[in-house]
Amino acid sequence: MTTETLRGRVALVTGGSRGIGAAIVRRLANAGVAVAINYRERTDEANTLVKSIAGIGGRAIAIAADVSQADAVAQMVQRANSELGPIDILVNNAGIAITRGVDDLREGDFDRTIAVNLKSVFLCMQAVLPMMRSAKWGRIVNISSGAARGAGSIGPHYNASKAAVEGLTRGYPHAS
């Protein structure tokens, strides 16, 4: 896909205020994509990123939302659509890594990891697919981890959540 193909598109990047998400946001903005930057707690980082994109003549907004909650996702997508236009590109990058060994893992840790790392991917895909189908164009990128295919230092709950993201992704081959 060329930069020209992306110019004028609208993207939503979950977990976009820092790290990999912020790098993705910058790359999309540099390609001429208007970007909705989702974050949960890092308001200052998200707003700084919005300002830096505006500084290069791009368009971006920061949207606080817990993407593991259906109502929050619906409101986030509605706001992105109303302020930037229909979402053409979704990057599911939000995630948490609660470091616990199997003996220290609590049910709440497991549930929160699955909600943020997996359920959010499902909720965001479901929320943007109608727009993409209507436009007959869309791209969804789901960020996983090498931990999906082997042992990792974070814990089995994290490995399971990332393996499930890969399974969910394969289950939506063309989102028909």
What domains appear along the chain, each with residue ranges and CATH number? Answer: 3-171 (3.40.50.720)
* Complete DSSP assignment for 103-152: TT--HHHHHHHHIIIIIHHHHHHHHHHHHHHHHT--EEEE---GGGGS--
In angstroms, the CA 88 to CA 110 distance is 32
At 146 the pLDDT is 61
List C-alpha distances in Å: 128 to 10, 45, 54, 119, 134: 11, 25, 25, 15, 10
At 174 the pLDDT is 62
The single-letter DSSP state of residue 67 is T
At 141 the pLDDT is 94
Q: Specify whether the CB–CB gap between 14 and 93 falls below 8 A.
A: yes
At 85 the pLDDT is 98
At 1 the pLDDT is 53
Q: Specify whether the CB–CB gap between 67 and 123 falls below 8 A.
A: yes
pTM of the full structure = 0.92
Give the residue ranges of the chain where pLDDT is below 70. 1-4, 145-148, 151, 173-176
- Residues found in the chain: 176
Q: Specify whether the CB–CB gap between 19 and 42 falls below 8 A.
A: no
In angstroms, the CA 32 to CA 4 distance is 8
At 160 the pLDDT is 80
Residue 84 token pair: 């930037």
Point out the residues that are catalytic. Answer: 158
At 161 the pLDDT is 84
At 103 the pLDDT is 86
**H or E stretch covering 73:** helix 70-84
